[in-house]
Amino acid sequence: MKLRQCVFVCGDLESSREELCDILGIDVAYRDPGVAKWGLVNVVCPTGHDFLEIVTPFQQGTSAGRYIERRKGDGGYMVILQVADAAAERKRVTDLGIRAVAQKDLPEYQYTHFHPSDTAGVLLSLDTTFAPKGVDPALWWPPAEKGWLKHARSDVTNGLAGVEIQHPDSAAAAASWAKILGRPLDTSGGGNRIKLDGSEIRFVADRDGRGQGVSAYDVKAVNKDKILAAAEKRGKKRGPSQVEVCGCRINLV
């Protein structure tokens, strides 16, 4: 179970794209016309072999728009985990009473999105890919289309390392997610975290008054000084190892 893609939701796609790419040193690989069915436009940007996405609602009445309203602005929105068998995970998770809000089963790709009300305010997706013969499975990621690798950069950032979720009852949220993901909950040191393959999901108290949901993403920094300098120019530096992008804190690890 691997953290493969993290998603921001923003009111202005192009200004948010410019901020994201400038600060984190990444480029747009794909704009998916398929998200229009949810009333959205988007960009997908590789960081190493992982992905950051921005979605923006273009019509009224979208779940993304309601999320922006509920959390009082732009921010982290969705977490996409790559799993070995998305269909089996779908059955296991829905058997727990967690509601699926969208699903698809294609020859090359399966996914299930789960209701944020059941997942501590975060839109969670469990995805499986099936690479064609002769294609490296690690490089096959249909949400970014086939040509994404030529847009991938790893000179400034190089992949995702974690997600931080805030909740008024962080211990309860962590316990619920541990059941949903079928992974043990680590409470050592007084924290609440779930270890994934090469990353983690942490649960903390609501410290900024924005309510439950994503509070930070962890990104692997290759050139931290460059990231911090770019963030400083935009007034988005938040600490010696933290910047803000698209209304969400980014921890540089």
Task: Please check whether residue 64 is in contact with residue 38, taking contact to mean a CB–CB distance below 8 angstroms.
Answer: yes
pLDDT in tens, 66-79: 999 999 999 999 99
Mean pLDDT to the nearest integer, 57-61: 96
Cα→Cα distances 8→73, 109, 216, 219, Å: 11, 22, 10, 14
Residues 6+ apart with CB under 8 A from 235: none
Question: What percent of the chain is predicted at pLDDT more than 90?
Answer: 98
Angle at 239 between CA 65 and CA 215, to 5 degrees: 30
Residues 6+ apart with CB under 8 A from 142: 106, 108, 109, 129
Question: What percent of the chain is predicted at pLDDT more than 70?
Answer: 100
pTM across the whole model: 0.97
Sheet with 100-106: strands ordered across:
40-47, 50-57, 2-9, 75-82, 123-129, 109-114, 100-106
pLDDT in tens, 212-239: 999 999 999 999 999 999 999 999 999 9
Report residue 80's pLDDT band, with 50, 70 and 90 as the boundaries. Answer: very high
Q: What is the pLDDT of residue 227?
A: 99
Q: What number of other Cβ atoms are within 10 A of residue 18's Cβ?
A: 12
pLDDT in tens, 39-51: 999 999 999 999 9
Q: What is the pLDDT of residue 136?
A: 93
Q: Which of 201, 136, 208 is nearest to 173 (CA)?
A: 201
pLDDT in tens, 139-194: 999 999 989 999 999 999 999 999 999 999 999 999 999 999 999 999 999 899 99
Q: What is the pLDDT of residue 118?
A: 98
Q: What is the pLDDT of residue 32?
A: 97
Q: What is the pLDDT of residue 212?
A: 98
Q: Which of 83, 86, 29 is nearest to 52 (CA)?
A: 29
- Read off the DSSP letter of residue 208: S
Angle at 195 between CA 128 and CA 131, to 5 degrees: 20
The domain that holds 137 is classified in CATH as: 3.10.180.10
Task: Give the domain range for residue 222.
Answer: 2-252
Q: What is the pLDDT of residue 173?
A: 99
Positions of E strands within the chain: 2-9, 40-47, 50-57, 75-82, 100-106, 109-114, 123-129, 157-166, 185-186, 193-196, 199-204, 213-221, 237-239, 242-245, 248-252
Amino acid at 19: E
Q: What is the pLDDT of residue 220?
A: 99
Domain count, the chain: 1
